[in-house]
Amino acid sequence: MRLLIPTLMLSLVLPSAAQAKCKAYKKLEKADYDTVVQAIAADNEDCRSTAAKVLGDGIGDKRFSTDQARESLPILENLMIGDDDFGVRRDGLRAVEEYMNNANLKAAALETIQATFEQDEQDSGFFIKALAILMKQDSARARNGVLVHLSRYRNYKPAFVMALLAASEKLNQPETRDLALVVAMDSGQPRNVRLSALTILENANHPGLADAYLAMLSDSDKKVQIRCVDGLSRAGLPPAKVQSALSGVVRNESRGDVRAKALKGLKRYLSPELLPLLNSQIGSEKHIVAWHHSLEMLLSVADQSSFGVLNQLLVRDWAFQDDLVIEVFHTLARIAIAAPEDQFGPMADRVILSIAARIEKPEDKAGSVGPEARAAGQAIIELLSPRQPAQVVQMVQNWGLPTYEEVVIVDMSVYDESAFSYEMSVEVNESGEILGVGGASFGFEASVRISE
């Protein structure tokens, strides 16, 4: 059964809809040009909106002449810039878009859209629509507006900021690339906005990409964290920054798979500076993949500070691969012979005890080893037992140093951190405003303040 509601009742229920009707101008769709232009200036917003639509349709179906259309463009421009109602402004924009179907009007119509895009006071819907038209028809016309609007991104809703970022990538200007870095590093922005900026930086291989990863590394979303960890794990980044950041993840992150990713990343930037972290991880890490990454790095740079950790590792009922067990045996022997002469004997005794504890574990007990590891362990016990350092040194020299896939040992002393610096084409002043080169504002009055 259909419910019929009388028109009068509708006007009572929805008074705003009834009052919105354009009563001053009847049948605008069929009115002449002068009447439609007059309606553009009407007090009633519905009249102005309808008149804008009629102008666009009239040009599209050639009811109005090219000369009349050209004459009406400044009128529509004033409507799009100054009308109190943003819905009317958008209707004006749609009308001007229709003008572009006329080849003789296209350039003038684009110029009008560009002028209205380069305005402070518009709503996000208008900006997004105008930007889409300019980027499709003549992206060069969007450049100045994109640059200025992106420099004050905090004034706008996320949807428009993301549209600006997408446009900036296509425009591929130094200023817009650098503004993407500012956005990505802004913790006050929504995650999706920052990730859009991060994608642009990744695609452009921006020199400040590491700083963007560092800024987003503490995000609560695991996928974002892992993305940043993976990014920081690339070769060629500032070693000190990478070590500091990824070490922080290892120490503070509760999720084992994220710690494992961070430790894997540290393999590219391994140096003795990481020993305190690695010594700690061997005794406390419970995620098996993270633990294995820690052990491989520790065996690559272990020194006397690792001696107790590695000894304890052998007596624990914790199974790991025999090839790593053998490397632990070798590493302990190396540390012992590198110690001062008066310490060699006591250290050799400890190594003998810990190796014996490992190779004597019954086969049915956790931590037991196979024949190759038992033979290697027994050989080292026999080597250390006479306590003759010279003999031990001669034998150890025949052992190859451990090498592991992905492990790269870096000498931190040879890195000049200034070599990783980069010049920005934008700057943030003491007031938190984004400025261009030399401290000049981009235009459209002041740039956005990004200070909290």
Q: Tens of pLDDT along 212-257?
A: 999 999 999 999 999 999 999 987 888 999 999 999 999 999 999 9
Q: Tens of pLDDT along 367-417?
A: 899 999 999 999 999 999 988 878 888 888 888 888 998 999 999 999 888
DSSP 341-365: HHHHHHHHHHHHHHHHHHHTS-TTS
Model confidence at 160: pLDDT above 90? yes
Half-sphere exposure of 316 (CA within 13 A, CB side): 13
Domain boundary among 68, 96, 117: 117
Model confidence at 15: pLDDT above 50? no
Model confidence at 20: pLDDT above 70? no
Which pLDDT score is estimated for 201?
Answer: 95
DSSP 370-435: -HHHHHHHHHHHHHHTT--HHHHHHHHTTSPPP--TT--B--GGG--GGGG----SSEE-TTSBEE
Domain boundary among 100, 117, 134: 117
Model confidence at 447: pLDDT above 90? no
Identify whether 168 is part of a domain.
no
Domain boundary among 117, 151, 181: 117
Q: Tens of pLDDT along 339-369?
A: 898 899 999 999 999 999 999 998 888 889 9
Cβ–Cβ < 8 Å for 275, 297: no
Identify whether 452 is part of a domain.
no
237 SS3 class = coil
Which pLDDT score is estimated for 24?
Answer: 67
Identify whether 97 is part of a domain.
yes
Mean pLDDT over 62-90 rounds to 90
Mean pLDDT over 8-22 rounds to 43
Say what percent of the chain tops pLDDT 90. Answer: 60
Q: How is residue 443 written in tokens?
A: 């235009």
Identify whether 35 is part of a domain.
yes
330: pLDDT confidence band, cut at 50, 70 and 90? very high
Separation of alpha carbons 298 and 282, rounded Å: 8
Which pLDDT score is estimated for 438?
Answer: 64
Q: Which helix (H) or strand (E) holds 28?
A: none
Identify whether 450 is part of a domain.
no
Q: Tens of pLDDT along 38-47?
A: 988 888 899 8
Q: Tens of pLDDT along 188-221?
A: 899 999 999 999 999 999 999 999 999 999 999 9
Model confidence at 268: pLDDT above 70? yes
Which pLDDT score is estimated for 2?
Answer: 35
Which pLDDT score is estimated for 1?
Answer: 34
Which pLDDT score is estimated for 441?
Answer: 62
Mean pLDDT over 322-338 rounds to 94
Q: Which helix (H) or strand (E) holds 104?
A: none
Model confidence at 16: pLDDT above 50? no
Which residues lie across from 434 on neighbouring strands?
Answer: 428
Q: How many domains does the chain have?
A: 2
Q: Please count the other Cβ atoms lying within 10 Å of the Cβ belonging to residue 415.
A: 15
Which pLDDT score is estimated for 443?
Answer: 52
Size (the chain), residues: 452
Model confidence at 14: pLDDT above 70? no
318: pLDDT confidence band, cut at 50, 70 and 90? confident
* Range among 14-28, 58-72, 287-301 with highest mean pLDDT value: 287-301
Structural domain including 323 reads 302-387
Separation of alpha carbons 202 and 199, rounded Å: 5
Mean pLDDT over 27-45 rounds to 88
Identify whether 429 is part of a domain.
no
Identify whether 421 is part of a domain.
no
Identify whether 329 is part of a domain.
yes
* Max Cα-Cα span within the chain: 113
Mean pLDDT over 410-425 rounds to 87
Which residues lie across from 270 on neighbouring strands?
Answer: 409
Which pLDDT score is estimated for 13?
Answer: 39
Average pLDDT, the chain: 87
